[in-house]
Amino acid sequence: MKMLCGTLAVTMLTGVGLAQISGQEIVDRVEAHYRSLPGCSVTLKLDFEFEEGNPMAAMLGEMNQTAHGVVIMPNVFAFWSDPKPDGMGMGMPAPRVISDGKTMTSAIPEMQIYEVADAPASFAATLRPDGEEQMMPTSAWQLVPGAEIVLELMSDASKNTKPADEAGEKPVRPGLLKSLASAEYKGKAGEDLDTHHVFLVTETDPFGAESQLEVHVAAAGKPWVIAVRPIPSEQEMEMFGGMTMTMRLTKWAVAKELPAVAKIDIGEDWTKVDDLMDQLMNSGPGGNPFGEDEPFVEPPAPPTSGGALGKGDAAANFTLASLGGGEFTLADHLGKVVVVDFWATWCPPCVAGLPVVSAVTKELESKGVVFIAVDLDEPAAKVQSFMDKKNWDFPVALDPGGKTATAYGVTGIPHSLVIDKKGVIRHVHIGFGGPEQFEAQLRKELNALIDE
């Protein structure tokens, strides 16, 4: 949740005794509260908000989600999302996960697939099973917005607080409570029962990049963490048109056992898989990892108003630094068919679709097809590490600040352009409809343009 959010205007409240409280005292109260819990339940709501006229509103507004979580010490938990009548937005599934302390069952009900594995020994092991930072989701619970926050809070409250060298284990990334301990206390905001403390948390990823979060803690009643809001950079604000994202945690309650509603009802016709995330990301029933097995239909091209480039427009030239050195300039490839794919390492549909684009374009390279994957605003070291782990070797260009993506009207990724020999955008693909359908469609389009 590093990207996309707005800055909260904090109104400081004063009063007898209230002005004297320190941020560390509040953090101590929060930590003591979570340490006292045998378990807890919570409702999780991911809210996207948009400035008027933001072109992303129609697409990402559907990603507003409500989910539920119950966690019980030391390793019992369940998370599930409320499915929407028309799906989860952008084709994403609604996972369900339950760990009874011995086994962990994960399922994607709409795909009728499930996985059974040994339960993690603790919440810390659930968060980082190998003790290292993960770039991509490896378990279905990670697809439930807010689940990581809840597990981090309860993981901090566990007894596993020994340093890594004493415990004989790899270090685990600090959780939210540990981050709050060094956060900047901004004061109180809101009124009456909505009054909350505001902390500014600065986090550093393994590649040295910093990000900031606002963490809100209830000031009335028990000190529950009630919201987490990422603060975007100026570049991100410009790129995403002032879109903000807030993870809200409501209806907190003490829990001692999993409720009946957390149970996963596995049907007789469901398929048990060895690796549910691999099945979701790469294949899925009928070859479509994000929905039913339907014929691939090219989405409509984005509007060309306001300077955004779409189907039928002349592709704007750009020069970007290439990953590993050198530069990529679009104009250098006039006379060839060029496929430009905007993506990022944190985007699951991008990661599912890129191998398809790479394979098809490499097969047709000798016939004059060029492929460039344009990464949106990520450090080169992070992208290179991700490429190495995936054993990918296709060319990548880096788009710092997303300026090239903005020029092309990219409002969501993956976003692929097929540009003909004359430099005209002939096809636009937004999202990923499954490997078999997309491969057939892309191959058909490229061969037709090669023959022109």
CATH of residue 96's domain is: 2.50.20.10
232 plus 310 within the same structural domain = no
151 plus 79 within the same structural domain = yes
For position 292, what pLDDT does the model report? 37
pLDDT at position 182 over 90: no
Q: Is residue 123 part of a domain?
A: yes
What tokens were used for 91?
């084709």
Q: Is residue 4 part of a domain?
A: no
The CB density around residue 312, as the number of other CB atoms within 10 Å, is 11
Residue 17 burial (CB < 10 Å; 0-12/13-18/19+)?
Answer: exposed
Residue ending a domain, choose from 256, 287, 318: 287
Residue ending a domain, choose from 229, 260, 287: 287
For position 288, what pLDDT does the model report? 40
The CB density around residue 262, as the number of other CB atoms within 10 Å, is 19
136 plus 216 within the same structural domain = yes
Q: Rounded to the nearest 10 degrees, how much is the dihedral formed by the CA atoms of 31, 121, 76, 71?
A: 30
237 plus 324 within the same structural domain = no
Span of 69-78, 180-189, 284-293 with lowest mean pLDDT: 284-293
Q: Is residue 9 part of a domain?
A: no
The whole-angstrom separation of Cα 93 and Cα 86 is 11
Helices (H), 240-347: 276-282
Q: Which long-range contacts (CB under 8 A, 24 or more apart) does 103-109 make?
A: 105/264, 105/266, 106/139, 106/140, 106/141, 106/276, 107/140, 107/264, 107/266, 107/270, 107/276, 108/140, 108/276, 108/280, 109/83, 109/264
| pLDDT band at residue 155 under the 50/70/90 scheme | confident
245 plus 109 within the same structural domain = yes
136 plus 27 within the same structural domain = yes
Helix (H) or strand (E) holding 215: strand 210-218
Q: Is residue 255 part of a domain?
A: yes
DSSP string across 105-140:
EEEEGGGTEEEEEEPPSSHHHHH-TTSS--SS--SG
Mean pLDDT of 155-180: 58
For position 402, what pLDDT does the model report? 83
The domain that contains 429 carries what CATH number? 3.40.30.10
For position 281, what pLDDT does the model report? 61
174 plus 258 within the same structural domain = yes
Mean pLDDT of 210-219: 89
What tokens were used for 25?
């005292």
Q: Kindly report the average pLDDT of the chain as a whole number.
A: 78
For position 165, what pLDDT does the model report? 42
The whole-angstrom separation of Cα 392 and Cα 384 is 9
Residue ending a domain, choose from 241, 261, 287: 287
Range of 88-97, 173-182, 323-332 with top mean pLDDT = 323-332
Q: Is residue 7 part of a domain?
A: no
pTM passes above 0.85: no
> In which domain, by residue range, is 135 found?
18-287
For position 75, what pLDDT does the model report? 93
Range of 68-72, 143-147, 180-184 with top mean pLDDT = 68-72
Digit-coded pLDDT (tens) for 224-256: 999 999 887 766 666 566 677 899 999 999 999
